[in-house]
Amino acid sequence: MDDSELVALIPVDQKWANEKMRWEHPAEKLLERIEEKTRNRLLRTDRIPITSQTMKKPATLSKNEWQSFLRSVKCDRSSDKLWVQYTVKG
């Protein structure tokens, strides 16, 4: 996990895990480490944005890095929010 363009996706419903199952999910220390390694390029299934404007640029990324990341992300923009897609360059 040393690539400078690392992106992660976490399939999670934190509210359900915490409230219904009483799980710490995602685990706080693991989440912190993933955010650090990805420089906050983290996609979560429980936080699929309606628009790219709802995704805030992290201070850890330049404007160009953030724009490149956003161009690679596509999400279900309906109220269902059923999917997220990240296109890997190459």
- Mind giving me the DSSP string for 14-59? HHHHHHTS----S-HHHHHHHHHHHTT-EEEGGG--SSGGGSPPPT
35: Cβ contacts below 8 Å, ≥ 6 apart: 42
Using omega within 30 degrees of 0 as the cis cutoff, is the peptide bond preceding 26 cis?
Answer: yes
Q: Average of pLDDT values for 46-71?
A: 86
Residues 37, 1: contact at Cβ < 8 Å?
A: yes
Residue type, 87: T
Residue with tokens 């923009």: 77
Question: What's the pTM value of the predicted model, to 2 decimals?
Answer: 0.79
**Per-residue pLDDT at 20:** 87
Tens of pLDDT, residues 34-45:
999 999 999 988
Confidence of residue 29 (pLDDT cuts 50, 70, 90): very high
